[in-house]
Chain A
Amino acid sequence: MRADVLDALVRHGAVLDVSGFDPRADVPLAAWAALHAELAYLGLEFSDITALDRIESVELVCWLLLSPGEQLSVRTSCPDERLVAPTLSFVYPPAEYGEREVYDLFGVVFEGHPDLSRILQPGDATIFPLRRSFELTETPW
């Protein structure tokens, strides 16, 4: 990994793990926006933002490209009692829609998002289906 990227990750309190399939950096939620701003400045491109429901928390995963062939995942955790995270829309424009989808399916509210509305489900939907607590029934109607 490039030295400046490594330096930025360490400075924002990331715990780096290169033993898995791809390098992985876990950062505290407070450093989420600042770290991404710095990584965008260093030239890392955006691939995807998504979430995983870990029951007591929702893990946000952002995939960035170290080079066209290598990817790095930057992860953070939002506690279940307070599903709020800072937005990355101004740092990475594609994240705007990605975060709307995470809100729609998981219920994570992104502070500072220009238009946090439901994107895939109808506008008046009340469920957050991709939480593990939401069970699929065989005949939902």
Chain B
Amino acid sequence: MGIVDHAEQPGFVTTTLDKLLRWGRSRSLWPLNAGIACCSLEMMTTGAGRYDFDRFGIMFRSSPRQADVLIVPGPITKKMKPIVERVYNQMAEPRWVIAMGSCAISGGAFADSYNVLPGCDTFLPVDVYIPGCPPRPEALIYGCLKLKEQVASETFIGSAARNRTLYVPPEMGEEWPDELLREFGVLPPEEAAEARHEG
């Protein structure tokens, strides 16, 4: 066994470290400041004065690199899907997803629309579903506390943890036309490889 596998065997040091990590991570879940539709109003309300999120250690972060949790507040449309995928990919692991509101769970009031996906769990691994249209701030807090329980009971050490999160391949996405990328000096992979070999 390699050093990494050795280190991942449960022993006194690793389990204590694991407990410390679990304690810390569950009490400082930082969601991304990503509002999509009406549920984002209730998300903001939960962060505001009356239903304070901050007392649970939940602070909104603007950059996906600094966020742990992606709360999806609103319907995911076809155009928005690559954006949410890209934002999810940019988040550092460990990361979790909360589907907030019926639109994020199943398409909600717009389930029979031609442009709305039937829920964000078609392409994201969702940990907590919070029903409501929109869910009350108390419901959102309850959902976040449920996630906190889950995070506090997950182990972060061991190969089981590494296969946990879905890895969505970081492609450029269909929304960028090739000509535009070329103008800015970004070539498709084959041509870039050629350019590198020639240079």
Which A residues contact B (CB, under 8 angstroms)?
A: 121-125, 127, 129, 134, 136-141
A119 to B117, CA, bound (A): 19
A124 partner residues in chain B, CB cutoff 8 A: 174
Cβ B115 vs Cβ A121 within 8 A = yes
Known contacts A122-B79, A136-B112; decide if A141 and B174 are in contact (CB<8 Å): no
A138 partner residues in chain B, CB cutoff 8 A: 112
The count of residues in chain B whose C-beta lies closer than 8 Å to any C-beta of chain A is 13
Identity of the chain B residue whose Cβ is nearest the Cβ of A129 in the assembled complex:
B114
Flag whether B78 is at the interface (Cβ < 8 A): yes
Q: Would you call the interface of chain B mostly helix, strand, loop, or mixed?
A: loop
Cβ A121 vs Cβ B112 within 8 A = no
A124 to B174, CA, bound (A): 9
Which B residues contact A (CB, under 8 angstroms)?
A: 78-79, 111-115, 117-118, 122, 174-175, 177
Q: Would you call the interface of chain A mostly helix, strand, loop, or mixed?
A: loop
Known contacts A141-B117, A141-B118; decide if A122 and B78 are in contact (CB<8 Å): yes
B79 partner residues in chain A, CB cutoff 8 A: 121-122
Name the residue in A124, A139, A140 with the highest tally of chain B Cβ atoms < 10 Å from its Cβ.
Answer: A140
Would you give the shortest CB distance from B119 to chain A, in whole angstroms?
10
Cβ A140 vs Cβ B78 within 8 A = no
Cβ B112 vs Cβ A139 within 8 A = yes
